[in-house]
Amino acid sequence: MRKLINISIAAFLVLLATSCEKETNDINGTLIENDINTTTTWTSGNTYIISGTINVDDAVLTIEPGTTIKFESGARLDVGYYGNATLIANGTAEKPITFTSNAASPSAGAWEGITFWSHSLNSSMTYCNVEYAGKTSEGAVNLRSTSIVFSNNQIKYAKEFGIELDYESSFDEMNSNTFSNCGSHPVRLCAAYMHTIGTDNTFNCADGYGVNVISGDATGTITWRKLDKPYYIEGEVDVNNATLTIEPGATFKFNTDGSLHFGYYNSTTLIANGTSTENIVFTSSASAPTAGAWRGITLWGNTLTNTSISYCDVNYAGKSADGAFIVKETGIALNNCNIHNSSSAGIVMNDGAYFTSMDNNTIENIATHALEIDADRVGTIGSDNTFTCNNGYGINVTDGDVNIVSTWKKQTVPYFINVDLDVEANLTIQPGAILMFGADGQMDIGYYNNTQVTAVGTSSEPIVFTSAATSPAAGAWKGILIWENNSPNTRFDYCEFNYTGKDVYESSAAIWAYNTSFTVTNSKFQYSAGYGIFLDSGSTVTNTGNTFTGCALGEVGQSD
C-alpha cells in the first residue's frame, strides 16, 4: 500500500511540473507561451510556435541552425525590453533559421515581427529567413536604441519595412542580406547610421523604394556606399566633425523638405568622387519631379578645402531660392559635375567662397544665374565648363573688389556685374570673355594699389564690355575708370566698349583716365553718351587701330 501511494504522489508531481513549464508540445511543434528569463536554447531541426508577445529579458536565447520558429497571428518576439538580453540566431547557408507565420496561407503582416530593445546586448542574426512579419509603421525586424549584427539574411513579405531602426540604432555588421516584396522601403534608419549599411546587400523593391533615411547628424570617418537602390532622404541631413566618402554610383533622392549640409558646426571633409560611368546622383524623390522639388546641398565654412566633388549630378534642387548648390566661406574642388533643373541659381558661392579647381562642369535648365560668386574669386572658375542660361543670366559677380591676381576665363555665358568692380590686383581677361554691366556697374582700375589689367582679345574673339540691359542705349552703364595707381602696362586690344557714359558730364567716357598711361588698340567704342576716351590730369594713351561709333561727345577728350 505504501509503495502504491508513493507511485501516485510521484505521478502527480510530474503532472504538476509539466503544467508549469513554459513550453508545451503541440502537434506542429513546441508551443512557446511564456516569457524567457533564463538562458535557453532552441535546438536544430525543431519547430517552435510563438503565441502572443514573448519577451526575452535577463537571459540569452540561442537558436541553432536549421530551427524553425512559427508565429501565431499578432505574435511577436521582444528582446531586451525590461532587462539585459541577447538573441543569438546564427544559421548557416546550408541550415538557415526560419521565422515565419503559422498560418496555412500567410500574407504580409501575419505576425508582428522581432524587436530588439535598448537592453538588447550583442545580439546577432545571420543566415535567417524572416517572412510575413511586421505591422503598419514598423518593420519585420525593429531596432530600438540598440545595435545588432545582421548579415546573410532574407527578409520577405514584410507588411511595411524589412528592417526599421529608430534614431539611436545602428548595425554592428550588415552585409549580404536580401530584401524582397516589402510593402514599403526595405530599410529605414537615421542619417547618423547610414554608414553602418555594409556591402553586397540586395534590395528587390518597386520603383520609389530603397533605403529610407530620416533626418539626423552624421559624424566620424564614414562611407556612404553604393547600393542597388537609392537612398530616400526625408528632411535635413547634417554632416559635421566628419570625413565622409561617398562611393561612385550612389544615388540620393530627397523629399520636398530634403537638404544636405556639410561643415556647419565642425571641421568636415566631403569626398564625393564618382566616375564617368558611375556618377553620384542627388535628385528628387518625386515620381514626376520639377525644378525646386527639394532644397539642395550647402557646404558651410567649416568644410575643409580638401573637399573634392567630381562626376556628381545635382538635379531638381533649389527650393529655398538660394541655389541648388551653395558654398559659404570655404574652397572646394568641383569637376565634371552636372547641375540642372534648379528653380533658382545653379551654384552660389557666398562670403568669399572659391574653387580649388573647377573644370568640365555643366550647368543647365536653371531659373536664374548659372553661378554667383564674389569678384575676388571669379578667377577660380576653371575651363571647359558649359553653362546654359536664359537671356539676362550667366555668371553673377556679387561683390566688387578684386584683390587677388586673377584670370577671368572665357565662359559660355557672360559675366554680369551690377556693382563697382574695384580692381586692385593684376587682372587678365581671356579672349572671348563678355562682361555685361548693370545700371550700377562700373570698373575701377588702380584706385588704391598698383594694378595692371591685360585684356587682349583677338579679331575673332574680342573681349566685350557692354550693358546688361535687354534693350540698351547710350549711357546704360558708367564705363571703365583708370586711376593713378594703374600700371602703364595696362592694355586693351581687340576689345569692344558699348553703351557707356551714364550720368553724362563733360568728362564722361567709355574709358576715363586720371594721371596715368595705358594702351588701347584695335578696339571698338560704340554708343557712348560721352566720349570714347577721356584723359584727365595729364593722362596719356596709345591709341591705334580703334574705331569710334556714336560717341556723343567725340572720340577722345582731354582736360585743359
| Residue 239's CATH number | 2.160.20
Q: Is residue 216 part of a domain?
A: yes
Q: What are phi and psi of 314, to 5 degrees?
A: -110, 115
Pair (276, 133) in one structural domain: no
With the CA atoms of 357, 224, 350 and 300 taken in that order, what torsion angle do they form, in degrees rounded to the nearest 10? -120
Residue 202 to residue 197: CA distance in whole angstroms: 12
pLDDT at 321: 79
Residue 415 to residue 406: CA distance in whole angstroms: 15
According to DSSP, the β-strands at 23-26 and 29-32 are antiparallel
Burial 256-266 (b: 16+ CB within 10 A, else e): eebbbbbbbee
Answer yes or no: are the C-beta atoms of 113 and 136 closer than 8 Å.
no
Pair (333, 424) in one structural domain: no
Non-local CB neighbours of 5 within 8 Å, separated by 6+ positions: none
Pair (197, 313) in one structural domain: no
Pair (214, 200) in one structural domain: no
**pTM of the model as a whole:** 0.93
pLDDT at 50: 98
* Final residue of a structural domain among 208, 234, 259: 208
Pair (199, 154) in one structural domain: yes
HEC per residue, 485-496: CECCCCEEECEE
Consecutive H or E run containing 333: strand 331-335
Residue 452 to residue 426: CA distance in whole angstroms: 5
Pair (329, 231) in one structural domain: yes
pLDDT at 391: 95
- Terminal CA-CA length for the chain: 147
Q: What angle do CA 231, 339, 461 make, to 5 degrees?
A: 165
> Pick from 422, 403, 412, 527: which is nearest to 465 by CA?
527
Pair (385, 433) in one structural domain: no
Pair (378, 457) in one structural domain: no
Pair (499, 416) in one structural domain: yes
Grid cell listed for 500: 557707356
> Pick from 535, 526, 435, 433: which is nearest to 483 by CA?
535
Largest CA distance in the chain: 147
Q: Is residue 6 part of a domain?
A: no
Q: Is residue 248 part of a domain?
A: yes
Sheet architecture: strand order including 170-173: 40-42, 59-63, 85-90, 124-126, 147-151, 170-173
Pair (421, 540) in one structural domain: yes
Q: Is residue 36 part of a domain?
A: yes
Consecutive H or E run containing 6: helix 2-20
Pair (56, 201) in one structural domain: yes
Q: Is residue 5 part of a domain?
A: no
Grid cell listed for 433: 570673355
Q: Is residue 326 part of a domain?
A: yes
Tell me if residue 195 falls in helix, strand or coil. helix
> Pick from 418, 300, 281: which is nearest to 341 by CA?
281
Number of structural domains the chain divides into: 3
Answer yes or no: are the C-beta atoms of 90 and 114 closer than 8 Å.
no
* Final residue of a structural domain among 399, 426, 448: 399
Pair (339, 459) in one structural domain: no
According to DSSP, the β-strands at 554-558 and 113-116 are unpaired
Query: Which letter does DSSP use for residue 376 in this model?
Result: G
Q: Going residue by residue through the chain (560 aa), what tens digit of pLDDT does each one get?
A: 334 334 444 444 334 343 333 444 445 799 999 999 999 999 999 999 999 999 999 999 999 999 999 999 999 999 999 999 999 999 999 999 999 999 999 999 999 999 999 999 999 999 999 999 999 999 999 999 999 999 999 999 999 999 999 999 999 999 999 999 999 999 999 999 999 999 999 999 999 999 999 999 999 999 999 999 999 999 999 999 999 999 999 999 999 999 999 999 999 999 999 999 999 999 999 999 999 999 999 999 999 999 999 999 999 999 977 899 999 999 999 999 999 999 999 999 999 999 999 999 999 999 999 999 999 999 999 999 999 999 999 999 998 899 999 999 999 999 999 999 999 999 999 999 999 999 999 999 999 999 999 999 999 999 999 999 999 999 999 999 999 999 999 999 999 999 999 988 889 999 999 999 999 999 999 999 999 999 999 999 999 999 999 999 999 999 97
pLDDT at 169: 98
Q: Is residue 16 part of a domain?
A: no
Residue 398 to residue 327: CA distance in whole angstroms: 14
Residue 122 to residue 150: CA distance in whole angstroms: 11
Non-local CB neighbours of 242 within 8 Å, separated by 6+ positions: 218, 219, 220, 221, 222, 266, 268, 269
Residue matched to cell numbers 546564427: 90
Q: E strands along 127-229, which residues? A: 128-131, 139-143, 147-151, 154-156, 161-165, 170-173, 178-180, 187-190, 202-204, 211-224
Residue 500 to residue 416: CA distance in whole angstroms: 15
Residue 552 to residue 560: CA distance in whole angstroms: 20
Q: Is residue 3 part of a domain?
A: no
* Final residue of a structural domain among 366, 399, 432: 399
Q: E strands along 389-482, which residues? A: 395-397, 401-402, 406-408, 415-417, 420-423, 427-429, 434-437, 442-445, 453-456, 463-467, 480-482
Grid cell listed for 197: 549599411
pLDDT at 27: 54
**Residue span of the structural domain in which 507 resides:** 402-560
Q: Dump pLDDT digits (tens) for 117-137.
A: 999 999 999 999 999 999 999
Residue 194 to residue 546: CA distance in whole angstroms: 64
Answer yes or no: are the C-beta atoms of 365 and 389 closer than 8 Å.
no
